[in-house]
């Protein structure tokens, strides 16, 4: 027994020494310092497995480094904490690139075939006229402030207005808050994008998406998804992609939004056809829904669970109403200009709840300031690191303050560097749909504030649900059921519209004059 134990300890000692020497020999002196070396190559792997976000926050607090290296088996990861380095890296769009990850997602997650992948992931992906380089620009007519965006938001708001009208007519209702928000937001978004031929009017297709979405990371990592994510894989292959094929074959997109028409034109101009064209919509669905649904849930939760937030937001949105003998008239385009507290609450929800991690690939050796970043490595930024930094947000960083982002004399805190707010990314990977989802969420919240009281079912107190942070989303989802009672506040007629505004929101540094530079 003692001999066996001695052999095991000897083996572990030799293995540790080998890994330590290997780390020292393969870590260039100019690279960012390697951390988490208790067990070389293994400690960072365990940290990632047990929760990347918390692991990176803990490493920030422990080492206080602007950038550092995590060495794992077969992989270098450079983790960036400093806003200075984030802005530097964002400028290196070809050398420290997001495009290879997009190309991998087309293949692994969307299910695009060989012909389509040859177009999306071609060696020309960094050229100015390539599929990936021109994709975001192709969506500007629909997602940049203007008529296309107004039409998109107007369609979503019409659905939400009708949904809340039906809810009010049914009297007090008890629901699981997350499931209810998910359903209404899912349908409002897909209706506004895909129009009268929306495939997701079929409940089987909606359920197929819920089956597929949790398996996105298994698909991305290519861990035999047909075996280990069979339900999600079958949902994609047998239901979702065929449904989008029929949608395009029947010209459903011609009755859809400017957004889906822009995407169709971009895809066909670059040569995507048939199944490959349909498969790209899987990626667009993830972009449109995976984060916006849980974000909408947390927005509603934070508003109605806190009397101070509820009072401030409700007082503000009630100014949107015009009352006459015909009922109450609400133009929800005015949330863009008349609801600064509601907007601040949305931004604080994203700051407080966001768990996203962004990644890029180093395409060739490059020196940023004094640090060498080596070809093939992954560069990561973890939003919780920036969003929980007291040096950026002050001593109340850990407290939900719905007035934090106000720029009026009534604001409680000095406004921080706008680049510290990372919920919509930045640089070339800045979320193009930020104005759409912000208008959608704020309008949804305004309708609920105007028409309903929402309280825990059974008269209980609000209890913060436990959270789960899927690797496929940037917002956590509740692990616990949040059962609530939704009660109409009155029986008045509400006439809801969304007029043209041609305005967006000042959400991120790039939206400000000068574009954050």
Q: Which helix (H) or strand (E) holds 285?
A: helix 274-289
Chain centroid to CA 228: how far?
25
Query: Tokens in use for 44?
Result: 């960072």
Spatial contact of 210 and 239, defined as CB atoms under 8 Å apart: no
Structure tokens at 470: 């899927």
Is 118:106 a contact under the CB 8 Å cutoff? Answer: no
Q: Is 339 annotated as a binding residue?
A: no
Task: Collect all residues with Cβ–Cβ distance below 8 Å to 344 and sequence separation of at least 6.
Answer: 402, 403, 404, 405, 406
- Kindly report the backbone phi and psi dihedral angles of residue 67, in degrees, each rounded to the nearest multiple of 5, phi listed first: -155, 140
Is residue 53 within 8 Å of 69, Cβ to Cβ?
no
What's the burial of 208, exposed, middle or buried (CB within 10 Å: 0-12/13-18/19+)?
buried
Tally Cβ neighbours within 10 Å of residue 49: 9
| Nearest C-alpha neighbor of 193 from the set 234, 244, 246 | 244
Please list, in sequence order, all residues whose beta carbon lies within 8 angstroms of the beta carbon of residue 35, skipping any fewer than 6 positions away: 59, 62, 63, 65, 68, 69, 70
Residue 514 CB partners (closer than 8 Å, separation 6+): none
Binding-site annotation, residues for heme: 431
Binding residues: 431
């Amino acid at each position: 027994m003692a001999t066996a134990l001695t052999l095991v300890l000897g083996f572990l000692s030799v293995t540790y020494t080998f890994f330590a020497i290997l780390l020292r020999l393969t870590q260039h002196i100019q690279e960012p310092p390697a951390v988490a070396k208790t067990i070389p190559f293994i400690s960072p792997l365990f940290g990632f497995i047990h929760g990347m976000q918390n692991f990176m926050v803990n490493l920030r607090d422990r080492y206080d480094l602007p950038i550092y290296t995590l060495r794992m088996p077969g992989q270098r990861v450079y983790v960036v904490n400093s806003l200075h380095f984030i802005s530097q890296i964002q400028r290196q769009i070809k050398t420290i690139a997001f495009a290879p990850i997009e190309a991998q997602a087309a293949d692994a997650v969307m299910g695009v075939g060989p012909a389509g992948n040859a177009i999306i992931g071609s060696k020309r992906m960094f050229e100015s006229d390539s599929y990936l380089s021109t994709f975001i620009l192709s969506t500007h007519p629909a997602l940049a402030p203007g008529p296309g965006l107004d039409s998109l938001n107007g369609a979503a708001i019409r659905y939400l207005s009708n949904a809340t009208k039906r809810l009010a007519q049914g009297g007090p209702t008890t629901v699981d808050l997350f499931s209810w928000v998910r359903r209404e937001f899912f349908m409002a978004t897909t209706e506004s994008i895909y129009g009268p031929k929306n495939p997701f009017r079929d409940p089987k297709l909606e359920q197929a998406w819920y089956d597929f979405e949790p398996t996105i990371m298994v698909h991305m990592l290519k861990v035999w998804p047909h075996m280990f994510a069979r339900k999600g894989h079958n949902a994609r292959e047998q239901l979702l992609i065929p449904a989008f094929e029929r949608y395009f074959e029947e010209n459903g997109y011609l009755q859809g939004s400017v957004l889906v028409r822009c995407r169709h034109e971009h895809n066909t101009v670059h040569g995507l056809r048939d199944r490959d064209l349909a498969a790209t919509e899987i990626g667009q669905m993830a972009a449109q829904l995976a984060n916006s649904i849980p974000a909408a849930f947390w927005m509603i939760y934070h508003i109605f669970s806190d009397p101070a937030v509820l009072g401030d937001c409700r007082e503000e949105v009630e100014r949107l109403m015009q009352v006459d003998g015909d009922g109450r008239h609400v133009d929800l385009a005015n949330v863009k200009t008349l609801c600064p507290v509601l907007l601040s609450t949305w931004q604080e929800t994203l700051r407080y709840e966001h768990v996203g991690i962004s990644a890029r690939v180093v395409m060739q050796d490059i020196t940023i300031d004094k640090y060498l970043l080596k070809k093939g490595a992954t560069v990561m930024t973890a939003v919780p690191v920036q969003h929980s930094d007291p040096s950026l947000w002050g001593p109340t960083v850990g407290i939900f303050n719905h007035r934090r982002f106000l720029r009026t004399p009534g604001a409680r805190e000095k406004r921080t560097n706008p680049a510290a707010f990372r919920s919509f990314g930045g640089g070339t990977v800045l979320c193009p749909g930020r104005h759409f989802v912000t208008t959608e969420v704020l309008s949804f919240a305004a309708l609920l504030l105007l028409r309903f009281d929402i309280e825990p079912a059974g008269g209980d107190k609000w209890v913060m649900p436990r959270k789960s942070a899927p690797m496929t989303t940037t917002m956590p989802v509740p692990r616990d059921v949040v059962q609530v009672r939704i009660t109409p506040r009155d029986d008045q007629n509400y006439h809801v519209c969304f007029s043209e505004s041609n305005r967006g929101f000042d959400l991120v540094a790039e939206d400000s004059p000068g574009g954050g530079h």
